[in-house]
Amino acid sequence: MGTEKVTAFWESMNAMGLQMAKANQEYALFAMRQWWSPWMSPSQTAAAATKVLGEGMRPIHRRAKANARRLRRKTR
């Protein structure tokens, strides 16, 4: 069970890193657009942060669900 937690942690870190890279690309595109437009959208920042956290939690949630199913089968 300890190995699963470590693996889930690193999968989570990898997913968050990939999502951060995507967010950085989106921010660069956003900055280029802002150069031509005077309006800013603070909701884009919140959406990017939500995506990063969501991607980070996905591997942990998947492992927790699998462990719960496995443990439920053993107790019956």
Q: How far from 45 is each of 6, 14, 26, CA to CA, in Å?
A: 30, 21, 10
Looking at the 3D structure of the chain, how many domains does it have?
A: 1
Burial class (CB in 10 A: 0-12, 13-18, 19+), 56: buried
The 10s digit of each residue's pLDDT in 38-74 is 555 667 778 888 889 999 999 999 999 999 999 988 7
Among 9, 41, 29, residue whose Cα is nearest residue 1: 9
Q: Which domain holds residue 56?
A: 2-75
DSSP for residue 48: H
Provide the whole-model pTM. 0.52
